[in-house]
Amino acid sequence: MNLTRRSLLASASGAALVGGLSACGGDSSGSSGGSGGGGAGERKDLKIWFMEDSIPEETRDWLKTTFESQNEGATLTVEVQQWDGIVSKLQTSLASEDESPDVVEFGNTQVALFSSVGALLDISDQEEALGGSDLIQSFIDAGSWEGKLYATPLYAGARVYYYRKDLFAAAGIAVPTSLDELVAAAKALDAANPEGTPEFSGIYMPGADPHTNEGWLFTHGGQYAEQDGDTWKGTLSTPESQAALTQVQDLMLTATKYALDSNDNVQAAHQLFNQGKLGIYSALNVAAAKIDQAMWDADKVGVMALPGLTPGSIGNTFSGGSSIGISANNHNLELSQALLKLIYSDEFMTDMAAVGGWIPGRTSFTSALEGPTGSIAQEIIENSVLTPNSPQWGVLDGNNVPRDFWTRIARGEDVKAVAAELDTTIADALNQA
């Protein structure tokens, strides 16, 4: 999920954002601490923030009803927030003892921004009770800061590849089992265009879809940046990253007509797939519902994980999804902990898969996921990779720095030059105090 405060980086105000949050919560060490400590006479009217399109309405209703029935005299207000502008809203709300929600959902790349300044409560001692080793490990990493856990995985979306089985067969192309084979298949399908469809592309590879492109970066062993001690270094110029960027640019320039699509077009790309204009299309597992049912019924659509570098292996896609934590300014610690525990109950986690279509934070409940992507979703998530776990990465992401970078690659700019420039930009940003 993307941050949206585009003015932060341009005005070098990432530190100001973090500074503005530094008043949040006071002592957030230990789940029995925090400004919302658990004394008698505390408020019993709790508030939880979920994000748009995250939790099914029936699951939200179940949570409210069950929480209130299990905690006599307590009430739960469930509010759904928009992703657009959420960082700014959280900055203001989490810093307020009166207005702060008690439990909050975050995009997993946002957590470091808030945990690093004391806006969230340390919930390290609750990890086992919430799922322990059953929790998505990459999200545990994202929810941790300086050895303490501040947010746990709520759900993940597996990034899969939908492809036209019938077009592959018509062109005599085998389903790819490695990344190189996927490149070759996309190019061959683009050239064949078996149905003679106008504006047909072998694969959908726009620069404005960084999370799809990051799969290629991570699978090659590349990354945006790596940390050595307290210092970050941009790593887009490494041989591994360069191999990925070169391969992605090759596809963008030779196997797709949509490399320069806008972000809005990316969100609606399933329409191109439904119109027969795409042979291969990457999206989250929940996008299966957007593909015309008639195409599924006619057995025209296949689903695969991003292949790895060697035949038969699986690649490494971006670890996208949401995490959840307790505000340091919560109004009742005991009830906030009870609410968080209820979210990790069997019933809620089952609903996240069976109703919401997500990979639940407790991975053993992925078996409840229905549809054509269910068999591969868990393995994709287990092999997923995070972007740099730094508060300042949230600032870079919020200013669309990754998206702008990939768009420059899509325009055909020199890969080495663009990577070197971004290495400096990223290192300067991540190394801000």
Cα separation, 241 vs 257, whole angstroms: 24
Amino acid at 275: Q
- Judged by average pLDDT, the poorest of 18-22, 203-207, 280-284, 426-430 is 18-22
Residue 312 has pLDDT above 90, yes or no: yes
Helices (H), 255-398: 263-267, 269-274, 293-297, 333-343, 346-354, 374-382, 391-398
Q: What is the 3-state secondary structure (H, E, C) of 159-175?
A: EEEEEEHHHHHHHCCCC
Q: Can you say how many angstroms the Cα of residue 413 is from the centroid of all Cα atoms in its chain? A: 27
Sign of the four-CA dihedral 164, 165, 166, 167: positive
Q: What is the pLDDT of residues 136-193, one digit of tens each?
A: 988 999 999 999 999 999 999 999 999 999 999 999 999 999 999 999 999 999 999 9
Contact 240, 232 (CB under 8 A): no
* DSSP H or E stretch at residue 241: helix 239-254
Could you tell me which of 430, 383, 429 has the C-alpha nearest to residue 228?
430
Taking residues 14-19, what's their average pLDDT? 44
Give residue 221's pLDDT.
98
Locate the DSSP E strands across 27-113.
45-51, 75-81, 103-107
CA distances from 71 to 44, 68, 126, 334, 397 (A): 9, 5, 19, 10, 39
Locate the DSSP E strands across 95-186.
103-107, 144-145, 148-149, 152-156, 159-164
Q: What is the pLDDT of residues 203-251, one digit of tens each?
A: 999 999 999 999 999 999 999 999 999 999 999 999 999 999 999 999 9
3-class secondary structure, 88: helix
User: How many other β-carbons are positioned within 10 Å of the β-carbon of residue 2?
Assistant: 19
Contact 92, 137 (CB under 8 A): no
Q: For tokens 């300067």, what's the residue?
A: 428
Cα separation, 91 vs 314, whole angstroms: 38
Sign of the four-CA dihedral 121, 126, 127, 130: negative
